[in-house]
Structure 1
Amino acid sequence: MGFPDRIERVVEIGHPPARVWAALTTAEGLGTWFGNQATIDLRPGGAAQMTWTGGHKADMRIERVEEPTVFGFTWQIYGLPEGDPRRTYVEFTLEPAGAGTRLTVVETGFAQLSEDAHGKAYGGNTEGWASELGELVDYLDAA
C-alpha cells in the first residue's frame, strides 16, 4: 500500500518577497514565528536549529538557497527516535503576487515510513504547517 509522500500548502501573503524571505531565512525570523529561538548558517550544507519552550528542538541541514525565491532544508521526521537517519525535505518557493507574495511550502519524504510512523508524521506535519504558516503571516503583519 502506498502512502502520501507530499504535503503542499500555498498561502498568499500581503508582504513583498524580500520580507517573506527574511522571515524564512534569518535566525530572528525563524526564532519568532516558527520556534522560540533559532540559529542558521544560510548556505547549502549549512546547519540550522530551532528550539521551543519545553525543550523540543529541530536540527536542519540547509540544502537549497536561491535568494529570494527558493529555500530548502532537510530535518528529522516527526515521531521518529532521535538519531534515526531518515529525513524529509522542506522547500519554500516565493513568487511575487501583486504587492505581496505567493508562498508555496512542499514537504516530501513520508513514503519511506511504516504505516504507523507515516500516520503520526504525515498527520502531525499536515496540521503543523497549517498552524505555522498562520504564525508566519501573523509575524509579518505585526512587524
Structure 2
Amino acid sequence: MSTLTTDRIEKQILLRAPQSRVWRALTDAGEFGTWFRVKLDGPFVPGQWNRGKITWPGYEHITMEVLVERMEAETLFSFRWHPYAIDPKVDYSGEPSTLVEFRLEPSGGDTLLRVVESGFDLLPAGRREEAFRMNDGGWAQQLVNIERHVAG
C-alpha cells in the first residue's frame, strides 16, 4: 500500500518474520547494508552520523550519510538524510533533510513494517519533485529487498 502527498511518502509491508528479526535487519548496520545496498562505516547510534558507500549498481559513486534520530527497541528506528543526493559535485549539507521512520508492529507471528519519509516540502523547489519521485520508487524497491532479506 502507498499513500502519496507532496510532503511525505508512506509505505507498508507485512513481513513474514518476527519483530525481533525485522528490528535486527533495520538496526544492525551490517544487515541494513546488505538489503539496502550500502557499506556503512560503523553501527547506528542515536545522535550520531553514519556514512557509507552505496553498492547499488550505477550509484557506487555516492556516499550515503544519515543522522540517527531514534532507536526505540523493536518499534521505531529513524534517521535524517538528504534525499536523492546523488551529484558528488553538489554540497547538500545546507539543505533541509527529510526524516525517515521505520515503525514495526506485531501481526500474529509476522511484522507490519511502515516506512514514512517526510519533509519534502522544505527541499529546494528545483530538487523537490525529482527527490520525491525517486525516493517513492526507491522505498518500493527497498521493501522488496528487506522482505527477501528477512525471509532468507
What TM-score does the superposition give when structure 2 sets the normalisation length? Answer: 0.84
Q: Provide the residue aligned with 1:123 in structure 2.
A: 133
Residue identity over aligned pairs, in percent, reads 35
Q: Provide the residue aligned with 1:137 in structure 2.
A: 147
Bigger Cα displacement from structure 2, 101-110 vs 3-12? 3-12
Unpaired stretches in structure 1, ≥5 consecutive residues: none
Bigger Cα displacement from structure 2, 127-136 vs 51-60? 51-60
Q: Provide the residue aligned with 1:77 in structure 2.
A: 83
Q: Provide the residue aligned with 2:115 in structure 1.
A: 105
Q: Is the 8 A contact 1:40 1:47 kept in 2?
A: no
- The Cα offsets for residues 21-60 of structure 1, whole Å up to 9 and x where unpaired, read as 0000012211100024124443320222232232222100
- How far apart, in 2, do the equivalents of 1:28 and 1:132 lie? 16
Unpaired stretches in structure 2, ≥5 consecutive residues: none
1:65 aligns with 2:74: no
Bigger Cα displacement from structure 2, 25-34 vs 77-86? 77-86
Cα distance 1:96–1:76, how it changes in 2: closer, same or farther (>3 A)? same
Q: Provide the residue aligned with 1:6 in structure 2.
A: 8
- How far apart, in 1, do the equivalents of 2:131 and 2:113 lie? 22
1:87 aligns with 2:93: no
Q: Is the 8 A contact 2:13 2:113 kept in 1?
A: yes
CA RMSD of aligned residues (A): 1.7
Cα shift at 1:109: 0.7
- How far apart, in 2, do the equivalents of 1:90 and 1:31 lie? 16
- How far apart, in 2, do the equivalents of 1:134 and 1:82 lie? 31
* 2:93 maps to amino acid: D
Cα shift at 1:141: 1.2
